[in-house]
Amino acid sequence: MTRTGAVFTTPWPLRINPHLDQARESALAWMRRFGLLDGEQAAEDFVDWRLAEVAAFFYPNASAEECCTAAQMMGWYFLPFDDQLDGEIGRHPSRVAAVCSALIGIVHGVSGPEAHDTPTVRAFADLWSRMVRGMSLPLRTRVAFNWTSYFSSQVTEAIDRTTGFAYRDLADYFSLRAATTCAFGQNDLGEKWGGTEVPPQLWHHPVLQRMRQLGADVVALRNDSMSLRHEDVTGGHNAIHLIQRSRGGTRQEALAEASCHAQEKVDELVELEERALSRLVRAVDQSQRAALRGYADIIHDWICGDYEWERITTRHDEHRVMPDWASGLLVGAGS
Amino acid sequence: MTRTGAVFTTPWPLRINPHLDQARESALAWMRRFGLLDGEQAAEDFVDWRLAEVAAFFYPNASAEECCTAAQMMGWYFLPFDDQLDGEIGRHPSRVAAVCSALIGIVHGVSGPEAHDTPTVRAFADLWSRMVRGMSLPLRTRVAFNWTSYFSSQVTEAIDRTTGFAYRDLADYFSLRAATTCAFGQNDLGEKWGGTEVPPQLWHHPVLQRMRQLGADVVALRNDSMSLRHEDVTGGHNAIHLIQRSRGGTRQEALAEASCHAQEKVDELVELEERALSRLVRAVDQSQRAALRGYADIIHDWICGDYEWERITTRHDEHRVMPDWASGLLVGAGS
């Protein structure tokens, strides 16, 4: 079944972590252990959705152990969490807020999984402790901030579902969308998993800020355009819906416009790196230059990895319906 | 001596902390103890620059102890730090990066003042420990993130001074400018000092994000327009310079345009609160509503407090020259 989404070209190669197979096995075992996979179909979904692949694409230089953690993270993110929030729970902001508040508590070391004792939260507590292991305190602060922004965006989306709020402006939408993909929080992990930590006084630089926002925007356009079969049914924010709503054209025209936007953003990123990033690299100490160039690689892996993953995953082939066994993963039976 | 800057009106009152006089005395004593004030002139500057007043305007409901800490923070921020970076040191990015890196280390609890043992850094270590005392871990993470963004912006400005980089676009400039005033980091403190902490899953909401950005923009326009006597001499980023450069008009025309921009932003904030914030307030649990309304008050105090402070401070009366005694405050004699 061929899906066509936003298309664009980049000058960067797709890179793949050599520990991919080990990471897939490790993630399947870990998800079973935490009750996040039930039966053969769920395990097949994990494999066919290519969740180990997306981890291997995003973090091509991660060690075997890190690549395993990354694949578990993708499994956690896509299987029990994201899809649950698209369902019935996602229409109850206070229930979403309770789950996200527990996850934010874990991210800040305020509380453990007992604050909201469900398989998803228990698994996240286990995962997070390994995600941040060995991180410097500044990176840990940053990753906590960016993952909090991600969890917060789930609450925002739940509120928007109940109020029917719809974005009118792509730029406004992209600001929330960077949070809903956890773009910056996943980019942060690239510095730890096979990359080089960007010194805190440079990570906030406007050039790096623009680079990661462009990366997030491009992935948003690609993802929104490829997940329409699901989101045409469930609703929720989607760039293609937004373009069609505001321009009134056909689906094909909206996809063509999304492709244009994505290509322009890739081109802007290429130029930004050639000029502004190069200027910045020259202005900082020798010892910090590798981290700046490495940051560009993280954004490239993010864009190229997502592009390929959207092509090969079966996740977006049709509208997904949450299987019965999964209904208790996020909220307890009694909540 | 009358200075005219960007002018605009708001529907919010100026509020003043009743502990102002005590805070002024406390800050003077604290700054003397850390060697940040030398002689009568420096103490007079502190009083005439109305640094205790700006603390009392920004944090009108802070306790006596918090208001004292806030006044010390303003003294630290304006006297040894900000002005030093406008001077000779500010033209050496690696020296600025070394200082800021030490301050960022303190913010994250990575290192103490010994990493860069100068009066400014020693004083900040003392100050920071009281600034974050009693904060929840999520708020502490957030304040660390936002103050890191502030210190990073000083490194960005130092690099821009050496490369001669000038902004062409006000929106791009405002993004950096929010960091250079430490707007969000100071707003964060308002939640602790007499306000209500915004739950982490709501602080990232796009409506609150827009509110604080508007607050930062308005203060940037007011501050840039009132500090021209200094910045016409020192250079550096300034919205009025940017407007004149891009439009080619007179100073008076640029000031009129800045006033327009500021008024539009105030009006947008008023409308945002009436509509979008009200919608959000209705969508969240009762227990979280006070924090959302309180956050609006923090932004109002920030805007109105700055407006009045820019009017009464003598800091911007003329181009400031760093006194000799202050030359060792930021970098050691040998560095």
Nearest CA in chain A to B176: A206
Tokens for B96? Answer: 């600025």
Contacts of A151 in chain B (CB under 8 A): 201
Residue range A93-100: average pLDDT? 93
Nearest CA in chain A to B107: A138
* B136 contacts A201? CB cut-off 8 A: no
* A101 contacts B200? CB cut-off 8 A: yes
**Predicted local distance difference test score (pLDDT) of residue A12:** 98
Contacts of B163 in chain A (CB under 8 A): 279, 283
Close Cβ partners of B293 (under 8 Å, ≥ 6 residues apart): B281
Nearest CA in chain A to B100: A201
Put simply, the chain B residues between 99 and 158 with a CB less than 8 A from any chain A CB are 100-101, 104, 108-110, 136-138, 141-142, 144-145, 148-149, 151-153, 155-156
* A200 contacts B159? CB cut-off 8 A: no
* B141 contacts A280? CB cut-off 8 A: no
* B202 contacts A137? CB cut-off 8 A: no
Of B148, B176, B205, the CB nearest to A156: B205
Contacts of B142 in chain A (CB under 8 A): 145
Residues B112, B113, B115, B119, Cα dihedral to 10° = 180
Of B100, B136, B142, the CB nearest to A145: B142
Angle, in degrees to the nearest 10, between helices A239-247 and A206-226: 80
Contacts of A104 in chain B (CB under 8 A): 138, 200-201
Tokens for B112? Answer: 């103490």
Tokens for A327? Answer: 């209904």
* B148 contacts A101? CB cut-off 8 A: no
pLDDT digits (tens, 9 = 90+) for A178-197: 999 999 999 999 999 999 99
Contacts of A279 in chain B (CB under 8 A): 163, 165
**Predicted local distance difference test score (pLDDT) of residue B335:** 43
Nearest CA in chain A to B103: A201
Residues B179, B185, B186, B192, Cα dihedral to 10° = 170
Nearest CA in chain B to A105: B138
* B138 contacts A141? CB cut-off 8 A: no
Dihedral sign, CA of B172, A292, A10, A14? negative
Of B145, B149, B206, the CB nearest to A176: B206
pLDDT digits (tens, 9 = 90+) for B54-92: 999 999 999 999 999 999 999 999 876 777 787 788 889
ipTM: 0.94
Residues in chain B, pLDDT under 50: 1, 333-335
In angstroms, what is the C-alpha Rg of chain A? 19
**Predicted local distance difference test score (pLDDT) of residue B38:** 87
Of A148, A162, A163, the CB nearest to B204: A148
Contacts of A280 in chain B (CB under 8 A): 159
Contacts of A283 in chain B (CB under 8 A): 93, 159, 162-163
In angstroms, what is the C-alpha Rg of chain B? 19
Using the predicted structure, report yes or no on whether residue A13 has a pLDDT greater than 80: yes
| Run of H or E including B173 | helix B170-180
* B156 contacts A205? CB cut-off 8 A: yes
**pLDDT-based confidence at residue A332 (cuts at 50, 70, 90):** low
Judge contact between B96 and B152, C-beta under 8 A. no
A171: burial class by Cβ within 10 Å (0-12, 13-18, 19+)?
Answer: exposed
* A110 contacts B204? CB cut-off 8 A: no
Put simply, the chain A residues between 33 and 72 with a CB less than 8 A from any chain B CB are none
**pLDDT-based confidence at residue A129 (cuts at 50, 70, 90):** very high
Q: 3-class SS at A132?
A: coil
Dist CA A85 CA A236 (whole Å): 11
Dist CA A299 CA A190 (whole Å): 9
Nearest CA in chain A to B175: A206
Of B93, B144, B201, the CB nearest to A283: B93
Judge contact between B100 and A201, C-beta under 8 A. yes
* B152 contacts A204? CB cut-off 8 A: yes
* B152 contacts A200? CB cut-off 8 A: yes
Average pLDDT, chain B: 93
Instruction: Give the mutation candidate from B94, B180, B204, B285 for the A interface (greatest A CB count, under 10 A).
Output: B204
Judge contact between A201 and A276, C-beta under 8 A. no
Give A89 to chain B, closest Cα distance, Å. Answer: 15
Using the predicted structure, report yes or no on whether residue A1 has a pLDDT greater than 70: no
> Domains plus CATH for chain B?
167-319 (1.10.600.10)
Give A213 to chain B, closest Cα distance, Å. Answer: 13
Query: Looking at the complex, does the CB of residue A285 fall below 8 Å from at least one CB of chain B?
Result: yes
Dist CA A232 CA A160 (whole Å): 16
**Predicted local distance difference test score (pLDDT) of residue B334:** 43
Query: Looking at the complex, does the CB of residue B275 fall below 8 Å from at least one CB of chain A?
Result: no
Of A93, A148, A204, the CB nearest to B200: A148
**Predicted local distance difference test score (pLDDT) of residue B39:** 87
Tokens for A262? Answer: 């994505």
Using the predicted structure, report yes or no on whether residue A281 has a pLDDT greater than 90: yes
Instruction: Give the mutation candidate from A162, A201, A208 for the B interface (greatest B CB count, under 10 A).
Output: A201
Which of B290, B206, B202 has its CA nearest to residue A165? Answer: B206
The size of the A-B interface in CB pairs under 8 A is: 118
Alpha carbons within 13 A on the beta-carbon side of A296: 21
Judge contact between B37 and B79, C-beta under 8 A. yes
Using the predicted structure, report yes or no on whether residue A335 has a pLDDT greater than 90: no
**Predicted local distance difference test score (pLDDT) of residue B79:** 79
Nearest CA in chain B to A203: B152
Nearest CA in chain A to B155: A201
A328 DSSP assignment = G
Residue range A127-143: average pLDDT? 97
Judge contact between A182 and A77, C-beta under 8 A. yes
Contacts of A99 in chain B (CB under 8 A): none
Dist CA B190 CA B207 (whole Å): 18
Give A55 to chain B, closest Cα distance, Å. Answer: 26
Residue that has been written with the tokens 């960091």 in this structure? B179
* B141 contacts A148? CB cut-off 8 A: yes
